[in-house]
Chain A
Amino acid sequence: MRCGAEAVLAAVTMAIALATAARGATLPSPVASPASTSTGDTQLFGPADDGARVRPAKPTITYWKVSISMEVAPTSAPAHVRMLVPLSDGRQAILSRRIRPSAFHFAEQGVGPNLWARWEASAVKPNRGGIEYGFTARTTDVWMDVPRIVPGAGVPAPTGGDDLAATDGIQAHDPAIRRRAATLTRDAKRLDEIAWSLFQYAASFLQPDAGEETANDALSVLAAERGNATGKARLLAALLRSRGIPARMVGGVRLEDAARKRTTISWVEAWLGDAWVPFDPAGGNYAHLPSNYLALYYGDLPLIEHTAKLGFHYDMLMHQVTRQSLLADEAETPPSGGRAREVSWESERARTYAFYAEQPVASVVLITDHTIPEGVIAQIVDDARERSISIVFLNARFESRYFRENYLQRLIANNFDTVAESHLLLVSTRDEAGLYALLQLGEQRVALHDARIVIAGSFPRAVGRVLGAVLYKLVTPGELVLVTPGAPLLSLWKMARANLLDGTPMVEAAGLWDIRPLVIDEDDVRHLAGWRRSLVAAWSKAVLAQVPLQAINLILVLPVIACIVVIFRNVVGIETFGTFAPVIVSLAFLMTGLAWGVVIFCVIVGVGVVTRSALQWFRIQLVARLAILIAMVSATMAALTVGGAYFGIGALLNVSIFPMVIMSNVIENFTTTQVESGTREALRLTINTLVVCAACYLAIEAGGVQSIILSFPEVLLGVIVLEVLIGKWRGLRLLEYVRFYDLVGRERAAR
């Protein structure tokens, strides 16, 4: 079923080979020409003499900023676009990536050696079709030696037979190609001789004239004796392969300062015994790549694929930058991800610090919340500096768990590459907020492979085991260590450092600092009980589908709050406004924090009650009156939000969480109670409501109930059983003992 769907999708997916559009590229200008002498009939193909090649003493390093912007025309049909994006290798490093949020669903997918960035949408609305993908890159030039050995010696190509196969574009087994290759290399014995003759042959071809339509497969290029960059590269690859030398195509772009481009180029890499050696016949680069060549992908592929019949346009904007400006840029990036206005107050609560060692032995990302004292951070940073460990420090100082989680997530998102490339992620938060924040890495499909993750915080170990398994499954780190209850950050740092620098196993190192770590590995994930394992799989799936676990948390925690309300009502005997208004309001409290939650509640109810009393004069009917109350409540909430932004009170920014309709009902209930039973009674009920909300909040927040439910959803069954028992219970409510206490003592006075 699924395969069928994919086949259909593939069928409608039209590939556009943008590389073929590379007409009008510059003519080849062989710079590094190896010695070749011609005496009479005999042609001698000399190998590239290392001394003769003009080879710079040290590599040229250049820094670039590239952004690719795409525009998809509006359509009502599902649309997807995917693009091959560059990866770091020995020659180039992708320093940062920036994916602008768009109306599309974004995902990255690694296929073979390449990385696809994929955008999908079920429909594209007008003016919502923009996609931007940017990255900064460091590229160096490369000069390689072609080994003077006979073919077949050395190590076989690591990629297997693909690099020798014939394809539609690279007809390596075609007799014409075979013949020509044989002719060209008749006198060549060694690899360097073969490579040079084939390279020179392909490089000597002319570019097609402007506007000329030519086929660019190897055979056509051979026949026409002209071809564009891709054509020549294909021909070279075909010739190499026909001689039994593994060769692969590389798609890339020739970077230029302040240029706007739509063309990619191709070159060839041949496996010459022990390494992939680049050959760029179109650019005349023999065993060499200039520093402005950026490889985007391997293979004979189009750069971009998209749904058939999609109106699509793209271009690539590039700038050369300096290393300094790149670093400065990174440091300046505000934690909020761009809106500079918010920075001033956000920086109060959230901050980042980065130290990049010149020749780092390792890189560490430290993620903490408000519980870590400044001095400890300074100590760790100094320590890292001394040992030339690059350290990036992300800190969100919020009391409210919701905010902490949110801001840590944002900070991680903004320093995504640093986090993804670090060797050690050391997370220390008061509770499991840090764990949740890291799950976002899974959402972005980052695999950390050999990186170690240490997460400290106080949460039940059983919860750690389940959520840790989810994290492990998502990001597959080299080692995942949970420390609960949290340990001093300094000890954690020492433990992690020992592991990082000396390879001391964490468990062993932990003993020294009296830390009890919980190591999660492949086995743990596999040995979870069947049902728990499917649970972990389910939550991982949810995260992969971009459903944050916090959302599931809120859903699952609702019944627990409802149960608390039931206990308050039927066992304690506290009456509230509306049976389940406290459920919703305490959810809002979870997001604003308790103190601000109460303040906001009181302000909204206060304004509402004043309005409601004023409305009394106008004698407005009930439903209309409720609607007016909703308007007043929403105006108050908007004002609170703006006020929050103005005075830098983060909690107020989440006012919109407060359920307007429920609040309006609370106000109406307040007034009705006031009229029917007096102000005192109304105030009493308000206070009761707040007390129950606060109790729910504290129970959920303090008990870590959210994570417990997430790890053990079967708790909900217990909740239901408890509710049945309470619903059947006939005893006196606690407050009724107080109320009726005098029933026994008062009679004496009467008699």
Chain B
Amino acid sequence: MTAFWARVRRLRREALGMNRRNLAFLVPYNPRPLFAVVDHKPTAKRRLAAAGIPVPVSYAELAVQWDLRRLGEILGERRDFVIKPARGSGGGGVLVIVDRDGVAFVKASGTTVTLAALADHCSEILAGAFSLRRHADQVLLEYRVQSDPVLGAISYRGVPDVRVLVFRGVPVQAMIRLPTRASDGRANLHMGGMGVGVDLVRGVTTHGVLGGTASTTHPDLGCPIVGVAVPRWEEILTIAARCFDAIPLGFLGVDVVLDAELGPLVLEMNARPGLTIQLANGHGVRRSMEEVERRDVARMSIAERVALGCMLASRASECSASRRLA
């Protein structure tokens, strides 16, 4: 019983809950007008690109139904691309085309679709079926990321991404989101994607969480997902930290994908990042964030901020480990 209360007390100190996230971090650090910027992918991408942050190339942006008549023309001879809603969330409405089979398009799952079906899908997107607040939306046609072999090896189809929680430009926690069979190629945790915490200092995966419970192996592939060293880790953290300079949202979830050829690319950003990342890492993020709040991070260089993040993260994980040993 005392153990139970001790746990509860610790949770209260270390875990970041929704109420605190909203009141202590979202409201003061994320100015409302910037929400619109990150929620609209083309705008966010332009801002990031302007700041020199690598993003997947946009092929086209379609804004009206009329454009869909020219869809075939726009696509040209491209064999692979991604169709996504400009204001989508949680991977809804994303269609990944990996190849062509004559006139048909091959989806990531291997099934084929016709050009008309693609146009229909785009039409739904334009009508706002996938947008956050169901406003009319735009269609984004962009570069299909090909996963880096290291991460690709531990994911079931689809492209895994690295979610970095950045607070005031300081990366405080990170996890890899692995697609599973249940998540149908998407990296969304709600859909059954797997979250795998990454040690900020070493860039090595630590624990996995699947649907709220801990796991150390991939549910479909059976391979261990712990102890995998993420390539170009330093670079990933730096890019994530730089996003704050491009778009000054204090509390930001940056989704970075690792392309086999182009390296880390920022896929999207989330101004209301979820809190499951704590579960994937096995420790709460609240203390680190409060520490960042006390530091004068505005004067720090990007490298200093990354270093601070790493230091706080290692302290947090060591702290929780030592406490358990004692």
Query: Cα distance A749–B213 when bound, in Å?
Result: 13
Q: How far is the CB of A543 from chain B (nearest CB, A)?
A: 43
Contacts of A732 in B (CB 8 A): 11-12, 15, 17, 19-20
B15 to A676, Cβ gap below 8 A? no
Nearest chain-A residue to B320 (Cβ)? Answer: A747
Q: Mark A676-690, 1 if CB is under 8 A from B, else 0.
A: 111001000000000
Whether, in the assembled complex, A339 has its beta carbon less than 8 Å from a beta carbon of chain B, the answer is: no
Whether, in the assembled complex, A49 has its beta carbon less than 8 Å from a beta carbon of chain B, the answer is: no
Contact of B320 among A619, A742, A744 (CB under 8 A): A744
A731 to B20, Cβ gap below 8 A? yes
**In the complex where A737-B11, A743-B278 touch, is A570 in contact with B19 (Cβ < 8 A)?**
yes
Cβ < 8 Å to B, chain A residues 733-751: 733, 736-737, 739-751
Q: Mark A261-298, 1 if CB is under 8 A from B, else 0.
A: 00000000000000000000000000000000000000
Q: Mark B94-131, 1 if CB is under 8 A from A, else 0.
A: 00000000000000000000000000100110011100
A740 to B321, Cβ gap below 8 A? no
**In the complex where A619-B123, A749-B214 touch, is A742 in contact with B182 (Cβ < 8 A)?**
no
Query: Cα distance A678–B181 when bound, in Å?
Result: 12
B11 to A742, Cβ gap below 8 A? no
A746 to B207, Cβ gap below 8 A? yes
Query: Cα distance A741–B8 when bound, in Å?
Result: 8
Nearest chain-A residue to B131 (Cβ)? Answer: A622
Cβ < 8 Å to A, chain B residues 248-300: 278-279, 282-284
A737 to B8, Cβ gap below 8 A? yes
Nearest chain-A residue to B24 (Cβ)? Answer: A730
B7 to A736, Cβ gap below 8 A? no
A743 to B284, Cβ gap below 8 A? yes
Whether, in the assembled complex, B212 has its beta carbon less than 8 Å from a beta carbon of chain A, the answer is: yes
Most buried by A among B7, B17, B127, B320: B17
B120 to A619, Cβ gap below 8 A? yes
Query: Cα distance A621–B207 when bound, in Å?
Result: 42
Nearest chain-B residue to A731 (Cβ)? Answer: B19
Query: Cα distance A675–B23 when bound, in Å?
Result: 30
Nearest chain-A residue to B17 (Cβ)? Answer: A732
Contact of A746 among B12, B92, B134, B282 (CB under 8 A): B282
Q: How far is the CB of B235 from chain A (nearest CB, A)?
A: 25
B19 to A681, Cβ gap below 8 A? no
A741 to B324, Cβ gap below 8 A? no
Q: Mark A379-418, 1 if CB is under 8 A from B, else 0.
A: 0000000000000000000000000000000000000000
Nearest chain-B residue to A749 (Cβ)? Answer: B214
Whether, in the assembled complex, B202 has its beta carbon less than 8 Å from a beta carbon of chain A, the answer is: no
B282 to A743, Cβ gap below 8 A? yes
Q: How far is the CB of B115 from chain A (nearest CB, A)?
A: 15
Whether, in the assembled complex, A573 has its beta carbon less than 8 Å from a beta carbon of chain B, the answer is: yes
A749 to B216, Cβ gap below 8 A? yes
B283 to A743, Cβ gap below 8 A? yes
Contact of B190 among A619, A623, A677 (CB under 8 A): A677
Nearest chain-A residue to B276 (Cβ)? Answer: A739
A736 to B18, Cβ gap below 8 A? yes
B134 to A730, Cβ gap below 8 A? no
Whether, in the assembled complex, A527 has its beta carbon less than 8 Å from a beta carbon of chain B, the answer is: no
Q: How far is the CB of B71 from chain A (nearest CB, A)?
A: 15
Whether, in the assembled complex, A341 has its beta carbon less than 8 Å from a beta carbon of chain B, the answer is: no
B192 to A678, Cβ gap below 8 A? yes
Contacts of B315 in A (CB 8 A): none
Q: How far is the CB of A519 from chain B (nearest CB, A)?
A: 49
Nearest chain-A residue to B182 (Cβ)? Answer: A678
Whether, in the assembled complex, B74 has its beta carbon less than 8 Å from a beta carbon of chain A, the answer is: no
Tally of contact residues, B, Cβ under 8 A: 45
A676 to B20, Cβ gap below 8 A? no
Measured as residues with beta carbon below 8 angstroms from the partner, the interface class of chain A is: 20 to 34
Q: How far is the CB of A338 from chain B (nearest CB, A)?
A: 48
Contacts of B134 in A (CB 8 A): 622
Chain A interface mostly helix, strand, loop or mixed? helix
B24 to A739, Cβ gap below 8 A? no
Q: Mark B198-220, 1 if CB is under 8 A from A, else 0.
A: 00000000110000111010000
Whether, in the assembled complex, B226 has its beta carbon less than 8 Å from a beta carbon of chain A, the answer is: yes
Contact of A675 among B92, B120, B192, B324 (CB under 8 A): B92
Q: Mark B167-197, 1 if CB is under 8 A from A, else 0.
A: 0000000000000001000001011100000
Contacts of A749 in B (CB 8 A): 207, 214, 216
A729 to B127, Cβ gap below 8 A? no
A744 to B11, Cβ gap below 8 A? yes
Query: Cα distance A751–B214 when bound, in Å?
Result: 14
A747 to B124, Cβ gap below 8 A? no
Q: How far is the CB of B143 from chain A (nearest CB, A)?
A: 24
Whether, in the assembled complex, B32 has its beta carbon less than 8 Å from a beta carbon of chain A, the answer is: no
Whether, in the assembled complex, B90 has its beta carbon less than 8 Å from a beta carbon of chain A, the answer is: yes
Whether, in the assembled complex, B14 has its beta carbon less than 8 Å from a beta carbon of chain A, the answer is: yes
Q: Mark A83-126, 1 if CB is under 8 A from B, else 0.
A: 00000000000000000000000000000000000000000000
Q: How far is the CB of A678 from chain B (nearest CB, A)?
A: 6
Q: Mark B1-38, 1 if CB is under 8 A from A, else 0.
A: 00000011011101101111001100000000000000
B284 to A740, Cβ gap below 8 A? yes
Q: How far is the CB of B96 from chain A (nearest CB, A)?
A: 16
Query: Cα distance A748–B323 when bound, in Å?
Result: 11
Whether, in the assembled complex, A728 has its beta carbon less than 8 Å from a beta carbon of chain B, the answer is: yes
Q: How far is the CB of A254 from chain B (nearest CB, A)?
A: 74
Contacts of B278 in A (CB 8 A): 740, 743
B7 to A730, Cβ gap below 8 A? no
B23 to A728, Cβ gap below 8 A? yes
A681 to B190, Cβ gap below 8 A? yes
**In the complex where A622-B128, A678-B190 touch, is A740 in contact with B11 (Cβ < 8 A)?**
yes
**In the complex where A622-B127, A743-B282 touch, is A733 in contact with B19 (Cβ < 8 A)?**
yes
Nearest chain-A residue to B227 (Cβ)? Answer: A750
Q: How far is the CB of B286 from chain A (nearest CB, A)?
A: 10
Q: Mark B311-325, 1 if CB is under 8 A from A, else 0.
A: 000000100110010
Contacts of A622 in B (CB 8 A): 124, 127-129, 134
Contacts of A728 in B (CB 8 A): 23
A677 to B127, Cβ gap below 8 A? no
Contacts of B8 in A (CB 8 A): 737
Q: How far is the CB of A357 from chain B (nearest CB, A)?
A: 68
**In the complex where A731-B12, A736-B17 touch, is A750 in contact with B226 (Cβ < 8 A)?**
yes
Contacts of A677 in B (CB 8 A): 90, 188, 190-191
Query: Cα distance A743–B24 when bound, in Å?
Result: 21
A730 to B19, Cβ gap below 8 A? yes
Query: Cα distance A745–B279 when bound, in Å?
Result: 11
Q: How far is the CB of A600 from chain B (nearest CB, A)?
A: 26
Nearest chain-B residue to A730 (Cβ)? Answer: B20
Query: Cα distance A737–B226 when bound, in Å?
Result: 25
**In the complex where A621-B127, A676-B90, A750-B206 touch, is A733 in contact with B18 (Cβ < 8 A)?**
yes
For the complex of A and B, 7 pairs with smallest distance between CB atoms: A677-B190, A732-B17, A621-B127, A730-B20, A740-B15, A676-B92, A736-B17
* A residues whose Cβ falls under 8 Å from a Cβ of B: 570, 573, 619, 621-623, 672, 675-678, 681, 728-733, 736-737, 739-751
13 pairs from A and B in contact (CB 8 Å cutoff): A619-B123, A621-B127, A622-B134, A677-B188, A677-B191, A678-B182, A730-B17, A732-B17, A733-B17, A733-B19, A736-B17, A744-B324, A750-B216
20 extra A-B contacts, CB within 8 A, seeds A743-B15, A744-B7: A570-B18, A573-B18, A621-B124, A675-B92, A676-B91, A676-B190, A677-B188, A678-B191, A730-B17, A731-B19, A732-B12, A732-B19, A736-B17, A737-B8, A741-B11, A742-B213, A742-B279, A746-B214, A747-B317, A751-B321
